[in-house]
Amino acid sequence: MKMRVLLAIAALVAVARTASISQEDLEFHGWKMKFGKSYDSEEEESQRKMTWLTNRKLVLEHNMLADQGIKSYRLDMNHFADMDNQEYQARFKSCLVSYNRTKPRGGPLFLQQQADATLPCAVDWIAAGYVTKVNQQKQCCSCWAFSAAGALEGQLFRKTRQLVSLSEQQLLDCSWLNGNSGCASGAIEHAFEYVEFEGLQSDATYPYEGKDGMCRFNPKNSQATCSGFEELPSGDETILQKAVAVIGPISAAIDTKRNTFRFYSSGVYDEPYCSTSDLDHAVLIVGYGTDKRGQDYWMVKNSWGVQWGEKGYIRMSRNKKNQCGIATRASFPVV
């Protein structure tokens, strides 16, 4: 009898302990394990958890609207979930430096050639073999290098029918004299200028490290070069569509400062509060299309890993007054 009482008491204690662990606690623990998160102190973990809970509320409320068809995209608790928006913006706000745009290089000729062209309703350069795998830029502000390398990879494939993953790390280490600053900041256009005169190795011979290093470029291992680059007319989505359809993947700069962008999971990203001029992130436009709801979109490759978005990609609103500045600063290399 006494043993039964003791077992009952032990069971009650176990239940009480289990009850003290909330659903939020379990989710936070699972999220930490999924993304390999750890903190230096209990105080930091407590603060991060509070931020995580705030972001969880945002994601849940947004997805309720998506379930009702009010929002065209869904959010997810990804690796940014323990950061508040101020910290997120501080990390990325200086990643993309300005570039003194000239008149579009070759723009008039490009427009004349495509003036009467009938464009396809949808383009997918991923399926066509022009696009390498999605990578993770880590804690380095190297989005500009990933965007430039991606555009070069597409044009190299267009010319040679060989898909080669090119070295973002070389651009980080070696293009300082062209105006870039490694993991601190850079410009897509400066990267193209560097490649024009130096060439670019493959990622296999100059792998990505996600941190600044000494330039180790070996001209004998160069895999790609270009004769320059062209800038598309700023803000013109019609011309951007022509370029994507005819040229291939196009480098672009966008505004990612809204919470909804960093937590994007799936669907067509429609964010009317995005800026068309205050741009902070470089990406690669790899196609376009229209979804089942009739929403036009750009297919965009990001450099935040495959656990972000649609396996590393985002569909961004197209033909919505240059939303998020998708056509403000678009360019491509001439290979």
Catalytic residues: 143, 281, 302
According to DSSP, the residues that pair with 165 across neighbouring strands are none
Asked if 119 contacts 289 with a C-beta cutoff of 8 angstroms, the reply is no
Asked if 330 contacts 252 with a C-beta cutoff of 8 angstroms, the reply is yes
Region of 240 please: left (phi>0), alpha (psi -120 to 50) or beta.
alpha
Token pair in block for residue 268: 């067509």
> Cα separation of 248 and 128, whole Å?
10
> Cα separation of 6 and 265, whole Å?
50
> Cα separation of 114 and 111, whole Å?
5
Asked if 223 contacts 156 with a C-beta cutoff of 8 angstroms, the reply is yes
Token pair in block for residue 23: 């659903």
Q: Name the amino acid, one letter, at 140.
A: C
Using alpha carbons only, give the angle 264, 254, 207 rounded to the nearest 5 degrees. Answer: 80
- Kindly report the number of other CB atoms within 10 A of residue 85's CB atom: 16
Phi, psi torsion values for 281, nearest 5 degrees: -150, 140
In 3D space, the residue among 278, 240, 239 whose CA is nearest the CA of residue 94 turns out to be 278
Token pair in block for residue 11: 């069971």
